[in-house]
Amino acid sequence: MALYDTNSNPLHEIVLTSLALGAIIGTSLTLCLVQKTKNTPLFAYSIILCIYYLNEFCSTAKYQTKIVKAKSFLIWGNNGNREFLLMQTATIWEFLFTRSLVCVKLLHAFFGITYKKQTNTFSIVLGLAMIAVGLFIRTLAMKTCGSSFSHYIETTNRKQKLITTGIYGWFRHPSYLGFWLFAVGCQVLLGNSVGLVINLGVLSWFFKRRIEFEEWFLVHRIFGDQYLQYRMNVGNWIPFVILKKDL
């Protein structure tokens, strides 16, 4: 008997997705090593994004085997995937545009500014650190939570276990915190000022709505007073995400 749902995991889809992501990583890594240009951070970003997708699937397959699906890469087929891809497209566009000759000429023509964006070593190091910590926290959250973890908001009681130990003893929603650090870190890595502001705004709005919606069900449908007590003892700690005190 298979440990996973074979109907939700067509092997050809998983293999082709993994091959495509691996090809992008290999190509980007080669470009990083061979062509050390102003676009090197963009190649690094491509590698990191592919690692994120692969990590989501591998972590789900290892720690949530019964619910893993071919779509657990989180590239397509899930709520929010389209918006995430749009944000990544905008991220790449801003990076390329702000370093293009067109941007230089527009700034000079309309504002009289002579400015050419340069690669900032500090922002690259800081961005990479945020990304690494974010992916570590998210993966650790999935491992610690085990079968109780889900990419979808739980609205019914399926006899889940409330995890309050390990990283969940420090952060109430560590997987969200990990994603926040990862997403913001990508903007810092690329030096995208507009993208950074937009990401901070969108992520704050998104996680506020999602967490408040999720915690209502955790209190009123699943764990009751047990979760209320946990909520009182363990903070949210996601920057700029201010939650209601009452559910």
**Domain residue limits, the chain:** 1-77, 79-147+158-202
SS3 221: helix
Q: Is the pLDDT of residue 159 over 90?
A: no
The mean pLDDT of the chain is: 91
Pseudo-torsion of CA 15, 18, 24, 30, nearest 10°? -100
Q: Could you tell me the pLDDT band of residue 101, with boundaries at 50, 70 and 90?
A: confident
Q: Could you tell me the pLDDT band of residue 116, with boundaries at 50, 70 and 90?
A: low
Percent with pLDDT over 90 in the chain:
71
The region of weakest confidence among 97-101, 166-170, 204-208, 216-220 is 97-101
> Which candidate, 32, 18, 1, places its Cα nearest to that of 119?
32
Please give the Cα distance from 111 to 75 (Å, whole number). Answer: 40
Contact indicator for 131, 183 with CB cutoff of 8 Å: no
Contact indicator for 72, 57 with CB cutoff of 8 Å: yes
pLDDT at 154: 87
pLDDT at 137: 98
Whole-model pTM over 0.95: no
Q: Could you tell me the pLDDT band of residue 1, with boundaries at 50, 70 and 90?
A: very low
Distance of CA 179 to the CA centre of its chain: 4
Between residues 172 and 110, the one the model is more confident about: 172
Q: Is the pLDDT of residue 108 over 50?
A: yes
What number is the average pLDDT over the span 156-164?
Answer: 87
Please give the Cα distance from 160 to 100 (Å, whole number). Answer: 52
pLDDT at 135: 98
Percent with pLDDT over 70 in the chain:
96
Q: Could you tell me the pLDDT band of residue 115, with boundaries at 50, 70 and 90?
A: low
In whole angstroms, how far apart are CA 179 and each of 17, 48, 84, 129, 176? 21, 13, 12, 13, 5
Please give the Cα distance from 51 to 14 (Å, whole number). Answer: 15
Please give the Cα distance from 17 to 71 (Å, whole number). Answer: 10
